[in-house]
Amino acid sequence: MTRALPLLVFSDLDGTLLDHESYSFAPARPALAALAEIGAGVVLATSKTAAEVAPLRAALGLAGWPAIVENGAGLLAAGAEAGFDDSAYRAIRKTLRQLPQGFCAFDGFGDMSDAEVARVTGLPRAQAALARRREFSEPGRWTGTPAGLEKFLSSAGKAGLHARRGGRFLTFSHGQTKADQMAALIAQYTPRMTLALGDAPNDIEMLEAADRGVIIPNPHSRPLPRLPGEDSGRVRRAETPGPEGWNAAVLALVQDVKHNKEAPSDG
């Protein structure tokens, strides 16, 4: 009889598993090793493109697991190399260009060079080029007024685009979210428990959908509002930001799983 997957972890990257400034995951190595030891799965769930995620997933030792990319707008299959089909991306860009010009103070990655994306993200130039290899969504910065932004978002919504606000960028897609992809993967892998970790507003649905959620503090942005799951203790807040907080939170849950303190019963 096949052993049930004990735990499936869904983790944001920037500011969560990766340091906000250096993009290092080194402090999280002990927790990654502990997850591997108990046979847990780790699904990266990020705003990054498949082209960015594929080598990073390999470096993390997670190539055997799928990855949710571009804020849930797409999925990189387990073991797959990054393909490239930008037809959905080109459709999004076309719609944005057709919005009333008075609202258009939005600079998307498609409007920037590799050097400009490197500057606004802090990524090395080569990685910035991968960030521009988009297939499912368009991130960018709003440079207009708050009132203009609300009109822009309303106009985009009427045109069939969905907007998500992350730690640094406003991102447009055709509507799939991290939580949508998460639900499909849970149905596929049927884990005994799920854990989600994130630091930004676009992680809230994922945090609420998991059996356990951990909010990683982000000193570079406004704290997430109190979530309903915090009242029951199902959603908790890490004490430290980035991979340090991720490491501590995951190690604590792994210990609970090992001692069957929190794993749902088999009925």
Segment 165-210, tens digit of pLDDT: 765 788 899 988 889 999 999 999 999 999 999 998 889 999 999 9
Please state whether the predicted TM-score (pTM) of the whole model is above 0.85.
no
Q: Where in the chain is the domain with CATH 3.40.50.1000?
A: 8-81+177-258
Residue 148 has pLDDT above 60, yes or no: yes
Distance between the two ends of the chain, CA-based, in angstroms? 17
Match domain 8-81+177-258 to its CATH number in 3.40.50.1000, 3.40.50.1980, 3.40.1160.10, 3.90.79.10.
3.40.50.1000
The reply to whether CATH 3.40.1500.10 applies to domain 94-173 is no
Give me the residues paired with residue 162 across strands. Answer: 173
Segment holding 106, helix H or strand E:
strand 106-108
Question: Which entry of 12, 14, 203, 211 is annotated as an active-site residue?
Answer: 12
86 is catalytic: no
Residue 224 has pLDDT above 70, yes or no: yes
**14 DSSP 8-state letter:** B
**The pLDDT of residue 71:** 85
Q: Where in the chain is the domain with CATH 3.30.980.20?
A: 94-173
**Integer angstrom CA distances of residue 22 from 56, 143, 170:** 14, 26, 22
